[in-house]
Amino acid sequence: MRTLRSVLLAVFAVVALVAGCSTKQEAAAPPRVTGDFHGNIEIPDHPLAVGVSFANDGKATIDIPAQGVQEKSLSDVKADADAVSFSITKFPGNPSYQGKYDKGADRITGTFTQAGKSFPLNLDRGKVETPPRPQEPKPPFPYKSEDVSYRSGDITIAGTLTEPTTGGPFPTVVLINGSGANDRNEQILGHKPFLLLSDTLTRAGYAVLRTDKRGVGKTGGDLDTSTYQDLTDDIAAGMTFLRGRSEIDAKRIGLLGHSEGGYLGPLYASRPDSGVAFVIMMAGPAVPGSDVLVLQNRLILTAEGASPEEVDKQVGFSDTLATLLRSGDLTAAKNYVRQHNDELPVDKKLSEDDINALVTPYMAALVGYDPAPALRALRMPVLAFYGTKDLQVPASQSEGPARSLLAADPDATVHVFDGLNHLMQPADTGSPKEYATIETTIDPQVLTYVTDWLTQRFPPAH
């Protein structure tokens, strides 16, 4: 589920090219710095690794592995030998960099500034190291992997379908992304949980469909203007696509949704004509979105060391915003966010882009959704599981309601994993700030539990 906090950096830029011919001899342009550089923004006790790549055409990009930022374009780039600088526009605190290139040392030395605070940032030649992700599947794969596309209304959905090389027709799992702009791998902070789930389940004998969300990757549309009707219609389009393929067992297609996907999966499956064989909710909320939003803000801020006063103020803001979003008055909601933003210190202020992304029809749908009717209506095998360290969809908030709402389902399982966070990683505090630093993408016990649950009910055909 999306939090109300802004994320790090990045936009883009161009260095003016020095023009060529003249009847008079002109001074030669200073040599341009090009290639990959890396270093640490020396924030006390929390150095932040970054990589900056200067292209031959004068553009530049930044990578911040710990924040999941990859190849984001920079603005106001200057990459001459005597001066190197860039800025990151439309982000809180107007971050910028000023430095100088030492040709002999092949090094850029300088200062990174944000919200009036400056930190050393020295850049050496080479790419920034990415955190290890030992579970990430690498080709060659022992199964078929096909890029696919199909229509959903007036847009095209793009994704990847993986299938075992032998057997069939295959029971099939459709993966449903969490909130926000997610690609088919549900990539977050260097992790690719849907790639790992797809690989695990396909090796176990299942076909798996995973897709880019609306407005992401090769899928069309605009997520910000989408409703839950639109997003469940996208699931329906995927089901129709799969039923048209002879190698897919049309009577054994189920849904696995993570986070918000745990809203959308049951919502579609509760349609009388859905034909869904099973539903798996991975950290899927069992209470209204507004309740999730308020509690996640309280828990995350507390875990990150905010004072009780700061927590109460942010929770109050979240509660009022959720009420305005549920009312459908997006203009009033946006004005409220702007008013709140004006009261924040400069280093906490949201950009106008942040505000516009926070108040959309899509966010109103998420915050206003109540999963109770859909969960009560399910009459197929259902697995809902949570982690005790999850601060985004807390088990303490959703486990009990999930058990109650699924009580009439003849085959419903609710399980809680001790010590796991929202991504099902082994965690310390559970704060989203830990996600990037944890090497494990999904705890192996979760992968085994889900696979065993499936094979007991829908054994693959061999």
| Pairwise CA distance, residues 179 & 169, whole Å | 32
pLDDT at 30: 57
Confidence category of residue 264, pLDDT binned at 50, 70, 90: very high
| Pairwise CA distance, residues 408 & 140, whole Å | 44
| Pairwise CA distance, residues 131 & 437, whole Å | 7
Secondary structure tally for the chain: helices H, strands E: 11, 18
Confidence category of residue 89, pLDDT binned at 50, 70, 90: confident
Confidence category of residue 66, pLDDT binned at 50, 70, 90: confident
Which of the pair, 358 or 383, is modelled with greater confidence? 383
pLDDT at 1: 61
State which amino acid sits at residue 449: Y
pLDDT at 345: 83
Give the DSSP per-residue string, 261-310.
HHHHHHHHHTSTT-----EEEES--SS-HHHHHHHHHHHHHHHTT--HHH
Cβ-contact 191, 133 below 8 angstroms: yes
pLDDT at 29: 52
Strands 60-64 and 48-54: antiparallel
pTM of the model: 0.86
Which residue(s) pair with 108 in the sheet? 101, 123
Walk me through the domains of the chain, giving residue ranges and CATH numbers.
Answer: 35-125 (2.40.128), 144-287+370-457 (3.40.50.1820), 289-366 (no CATH)
In terms of Cα–Cα distance, which of 264, 259, 255 is closest to 227?
Answer: 264
pLDDT at 356: 86
Percent of the chain with pLDDT over 70: 92
Is pLDDT above 50 for 129? Answer: yes
Q: Which residues contact 340 (CB under 8 A, 6 or more apart)?
A: 317
Instruction: Of 188-192, 352-356, 388-392, give the range with the top mean pLDDT.
Output: 388-392
In terms of Cα–Cα distance, which of 222, 361, 375, 223 is closest to 288?
Answer: 375
Cβ-contact 191, 182 below 8 angstroms: no
Is pLDDT above 60 for 17? Answer: no
Cβ-contact 171, 280 below 8 angstroms: no
Instruction: Give the DSSP H/E element, type plus range, for residue 53.
Output: strand 48-54
| Pairwise CA distance, residues 157 & 280, whole Å | 22
Q: Per-residue pLDDT tens for 173-220? A: 999 999 999 999 999 988 999 999 999 999 999 999 999 999 999 999
| Pairwise CA distance, residues 395 & 389, whole Å | 8
- Per the omega criterion (within 30 degrees of 0), is the bond before 401 cis? no
Cβ-contact 425, 435 below 8 angstroms: yes
Burial class (CB in 10 A: 0-12, 13-18, 19+), 392: buried
The gap between the terminal CA atoms of the chain, to the nearest Å, is 38
Nearest-Å Rg of the Cα atoms of the chain is: 24
Quote the mean pLDDT of the chain: 91
Burial class (CB in 10 A: 0-12, 13-18, 19+), 111: middle
Confidence category of residue 362, pLDDT binned at 50, 70, 90: very high
Percent of the chain with pLDDT over 90: 79
Is pLDDT above 50 for 122? Answer: yes
Could you identify the residue written with the tokens 């004006």?
A: 342
CA distances from 93 to 112, 117, 339 (A): 12, 9, 18
pLDDT at 3: 45
pLDDT at 91: 67
| Pairwise CA distance, residues 68 & 63, whole Å | 8
Angle between helices 361-368 and 308-327 (to 10 degrees): 100
